[in-house]
Structure 1
Amino acid sequence: MTTALTDRAAVLAAATKAVAARAAVLDEQGADVRTDLAGLGAAGLFDAALSDTGLPDVVGLIDEVATESLTVAFSTWAHVMALTYLGQGSPQLREVHLDALRTGARIGVTAMATGLKQVAGLGQVPVVARPHGDGLRVSGPIRWASNLFDDAVIVLPARDESGTSFVVAIDAAAPGVVVAPPPTLMALGATVSSSLRLEDVVVRRAQIISADLATFVAGIRPAFLLAQTAFCVGVTRAALAGAGRAEGVLADPFADDLTALSEQAGALRHRLYGFAGDPARAGIAELIRLRLDAASTALAATRLESTLVGGAGYAHGNSANRRFREAAFLPVQSPSEGQLRWELSRYE
């Protein structure tokens, strides 16, 4: 291992330890993830999102963080994707936003779910754009997004009457951005997830990242799916480690289940890092299947851990309890299991 790799591993280990120290606080006390993201940014761990060859490091970051907190890993994914999108923007947009997001001083929001659905053929983007000077005015709803802090940067799709679909960046504090109060969630409350609506929000020309949504989505989707797979893989590893600590005759009947899931998880992780190192060699169907398999394995692993932990797992504050509740979100995480299964059926 080279010195650079050794140094990064040490930095990542220290940052992950800091995430672990706050995992229960995030789950129990209504805190939010900004402290955790700022720590990851200060350690330089978001820089990889701006590198053409940084995807393996992005995947490694999210995977490791998810072993301690799926909540933080989920917000890290949203932040890293927003940073990736903004890295493709105009020089003015990059100058305004990149340093603050790269260091975690500001937080990024990916609100691209409806854009991915439109490209897949599952309906139109509901945010409508109208010409305004050399830019746009945008209005419409965003049904769900995370990291919706007051000073966040939101990347979202919009479409105009001519059929052109855009990717734009706006400030959460911009006039006309109305964020609904976050609902009380079973888990992941610290991600500050909610809905919002846009009411005639001004988008200057420099804030338009792309005027070709389909091409943009095709370019970012491998990283998008692989980074989501990473947090599935990370929480799976943590759950299987917890399950493996169970002892006694009541744990013995589950030995084969633990072995089979561990082998399955290892194979998924191997595929994840193989594709991250060379995403061009994976077809979109392979990436969708990997994402689906990783999520279903995470659910199975957290269920097994909960079963083996027993009654203690019903107590808030128990890490198995937290992982079980966090992982329950994976089937509805956009793109949902239903959307992914529908898309995959088109390739089969």
Structure 2
Amino acid sequence: MTQAIRNQDDALAWVAAHAASLDREASHADQVVPVLGAAGFFRIGVPVELGGSGGTTWDAVEAIARVAEHSLTAAFVFWGQRCFIGYLLDSDNTVLRERVLPVLLSGELAGATGLSNAMKYLSGIESLSVAATPTADGWTLDGRLPWVTNLRRSGYVVAAAVEPTDGQPPAVVALFHDTPGAVRSDDLELLALRGSNTAAIDIRGVASGAGELIAADARAFLPRVRPAFLSLQCGMSIGLARASLAASKASGSAARAGLQARIDRIETDLVDAIAALRSGLADGRFATQAAPLFHIRIRLAGIVREAADLELDATGGRAYLLATTGAFARRWLEAAFVPVVTPSLTQLHGELERQAALRAA
């Protein structure tokens, strides 16, 4: 299958051809990572000396957006893979990086960001869900990761934040698909995006040592990786909004003329949000100022919702007929996912309110 993927256009064509399947069921789920890897997507924004094709985090955001124009499921998988790659790039564990990074970049191994719980922990929303009991040469881990994407059954590695029971700082560790005691559940019964290999992991008596350590101090590590975590996630919204706008303009609806002002306004809003995201990544402000990035993520979710509504209005009754809906029904459900993916809009608004209250005090 991957032998037929010669370049990124081939990969995007494959994603487009299988978008409906990836949304509805899991028959092509295990092919997404190899397809994107064969096309070099995971190398974007990774230093050349580490096996990448160079570029910046913004280039990776734009790559995820390109995939999301065709399938949010594939883009969601891409996001998880690229986040884990970013964790290795930021880790001091060179042995782990040298062991795992090449097969992540090629798409031979799936990488999953199990740090949604940790991002909520960072904002004071919830406690860490994995306990780490000290042993002579590391920890024994116990807990559960209830929602993790890109757990490809043929091989994956997932990042997890753990809370030592002896009062030491929380840490971030890697768990592999064949780690004894780490058990993947069946796929979660999602409303859509069912080809994303999303499942839970039960962690019982898992031995973890220096070889699996991504970061010894999660409190220092998580703020460093959060800008990429959220910015890469924004790529999903950017691509989906572009797809709905393109469909609206191509609808040929008799009412099209009456929608042009909305099309222009949403496109302008999208361009402005993209410019703000790109600028914040370029000057590094998101590393010390999380609030502007939160606002961009919220703004993009609103743009996705408006673009989906616009596509419905432009398509009219054809959108509600199975024979003529095209990709609208899939994009409608994809748009419903954007507000709830961690951190959800509710969580982001709550964190902004908390920060405002602290400033006021």
Distance 1:163 1:32, change over 3 A: farther
Corresponding position: 1:80 with 2:88: no
1:181 counterpart residue number: 186
1:26 aligns with 2:22: yes
CA distance in 2, matches of 1:273, 1:18: 28
1:44 matched to which residue of 2?
Answer: 40
Deviations along 1:38-81, one digit per CA (max 9) or x if unpaired, are 12212222123533852122112101111111111111001100
Q: Retained in 1: the 8 A contact 2:115–2:161? A: yes
Alpha-carbon separation, structure 2, partners of 1:124 and 1:207:
22
Sequence identity percentage = 29
SS in 1 for 2:150: coil
The answer to which of 309-318 and 211-220 deviates more is 309-318
Q: 2:127 matched to which residue of 1?
A: 124
CA deviation after TM superposition for structure 1 residue 22, in Å: 2.1
Q: Distance in 1 between matches of 2:272 and 2:118?
A: 31
Moved more, 16-25 or 276-285: 276-285
Which residue of 248, 256, 261 corresponds with 1:251? 256
TM-score, normalised by the number of residues in structure 1: 0.91
Q: Deviations over 1:162-192 (max 9, x none)?
A: 1420100011221111222113322100001
Letter in 1 for 2:305: L
Q: Structure 2: which amino acid aligns with 1:20?
A: A
Match of 1:63 among 62, 65, 90: 65
1:226 corresponds to 2:226: no
Q: How is 1:197-276 mapped onto 2 (pairs within 5 angstroms)?
A: 197-276=202-281
Asked if 2 retains the 8 angstrom alpha-carbon contact of 1:109 and 1:155, the reply is yes
Distance in 2 of aligned mates of 1:281 and 1:185: 32
Name the amino acid aligned to 1:192: N
Do the aligned residues in 2 keep the contact of 1:75 with 1:191 (CA within 8 Å)? yes
CA distance in 2, matches of 1:259, 1:56: 24
Q: Post-superposition shift, 1:275?
A: 2.6
- Which residue number in structure 1 is paired with residue 309 of structure 2? 303
1:261 Cα deviation after fit: 1.2
Choose from 114, 118, 122 the match for 2:117: 114
Between 86-95 and 182-191, the greater mean CA deviation after superposition: 86-95
- Structure 2 Cα separation of the partners of residues 74 and 84 of structure 1: 15
Say if 2:154 is the partner of 1:158.
no
Once the two structures are TM-superposed, the CA of residue 299 in structure 1 deviates from its matched residue by: 1.7
- The yes-or-no answer on 1:333 pairing with 2:341 is yes
Whole-angstrom distance in 2 between the partners of 1:257 and 1:69: 24
Taking the aligned partners of 2:137 and 2:180, their CA distance within structure 1 comes to 18
Cα distance in 2 for partners of 1:252, 1:63 equals 28
Quick one: distance in 2 between partners of 1:102 and 1:137?
A: 29
SS of the counterpart of 2:337?
Answer: coil
| Paired positions, count | 339
Residues 241-250 or 47-56, more deviating: 47-56
Structure 2: which amino acid aligns with 1:122?
Answer: I
What secondary structure is seen at the aligned counterpart in 1 of 2:189?
coil
1:8-19 alignment to 2 at 5 Å?
11-19=7-15
The CA deviation at 1:89 is: 4.8
State the alpha-carbon separation in 1 of the partners of residues 217 and 38 from structure 2: 34
Instruction: Answer whether contact 1:49 1:84 (CA < 8 A) is retained.
Output: no
Secondary structure at the aligned position of 2:109 is classed as coil
The amino acid of 1:226's aligned partner reads S
For 2:346 and 2:300, locate their aligned partners in 1 and report how far apart those are by CA, in whole Å: 15
Which deviates more, 279-288 or 55-64?
279-288
Aligned to 1:291: 297
- Superposed displacement of residue 14, structure 1: 4.0
RMSD: 2.1
What stretches of structure 2 of length at least 5 have no aligned partner?
A: 1-5, 48-53, 357-361
Query: How far apart, CA to CA, are the structure 2 residues paired with 1:54 and 1:33?
Result: 28
How does the TM-score come out when normalised to structure 2? 0.88
**Change in CA separation of 1:270 and 1:17 when aligned onto 2, cut-off 3 Å:** farther
CA distance in structure 1 between the partners assigned to 2:81 and 2:115 by the alignment = 12
1:126 deviation in Å?
1.5
Where in structure 2 are the equivalents of 1:314-325 lying within 5 Å?
314=320, 315=322, 318-325=326-333
- Is 1:168 the counterpart of 2:173? The answer is yes
Deviation string, structure 1 residues 172-221 (Cα, Å, up to 9, x no partner) = 22111122211332210000112221011111211111121111011101
Write the letter of the residue equivalent to 1:40.
L
